[in-house]
Copies of this chain bind each other. A is one copy, B any other.
Amino acid sequence: MSNPPSERTRVKRYSQNAAYAPETVHAILDAMPLCHVGYVFNGSPFVTPTLQWRDGEQIFWHGSTASRMLEAAESQEVCVTVSLYDGLVMGRSAFNYGINYRSVMVFGRPVKLTDPAEKEAQLRHFVNKTIAGQWERLRPVTEQELGLATVLSMPITEASAKLRSGQPDDDQDADFPVWAGVIPVRFEVGTPEPNPKNLPGVELPPEALDFKLG
């Protein structure tokens, strides 16, 4: 926690269900590559969805509109949030109606990877985290493509997780005659849809069958 601004400490004080254990934070980041990058541009907040991945104690993400904006102001603060919807919590009152979820917020000032070798190494890590060995099967990336790709990174030093799981907490209403419980939700990976122009004989790599989210 290097120089945590007071307002962020305040977030933590506010938070219910908060957790700061690195393994909890890491597990949530690893479960869902889709992330939401929040940043300030000309005084206004923006939240841009993009793809993140983790390598040890660092978080990386693909640049997009956000990166173009961040380039305009070096070392801007960001908040990267990853969230998963795990289930509908059906309490016995609207007050206890909600969802089960896992989420992580990571705060910091990202840097843009400039070393082509480091950028390539991280893109390889990202691709192979999704499907083992896939980077080595792909048409090699060109120097120009590498130049066009934007990868941002920051250490996972200031982060917190929030989670909720299990049944509604409304025993005090247990005598009210309504069904209470949880409707769980998870990601279902469907049947791969081959590209119509795939060459004869090319096969889906068996490792792709291990692809999962959540």
> Which residues does A use to contact B, with CB under 8 Å?
5-8, 11, 14-15, 32-34, 36-49, 51, 65, 68, 77-81, 83, 85, 87-88, 90-95, 97-99, 101, 103, 105, 107, 123-124, 127, 130-131, 134-135, 137-142, 145, 148-149, 162, 167-168, 171, 173-199, 201-205, 208, 211, 213
| Residues of chain B lying within 8 A (CB to CB) of residue A87 | 190
Cα distance A168–B181 when bound, in Å?
41
The secondary-structure label for the interface of chain A is: mixed
Nearest CB on B from A65, distance (A): 5
- In the complex, which of the residues B47, B99, B130 contacts A47, with contact meaning CB atoms closer than 8 Å? B47
- In the complex, which of the residues B8, B138, B178 contacts A44, with contact meaning CB atoms closer than 8 Å? B8
Q: Is the CB of B192 within 8 A of A81?
A: no
- In the complex, which of the residues B36, B41, B98, B188 contacts A51, with contact meaning CB atoms closer than 8 Å? B98
| Residues of chain B lying within 8 A (CB to CB) of residue A93 | 138-141, 145
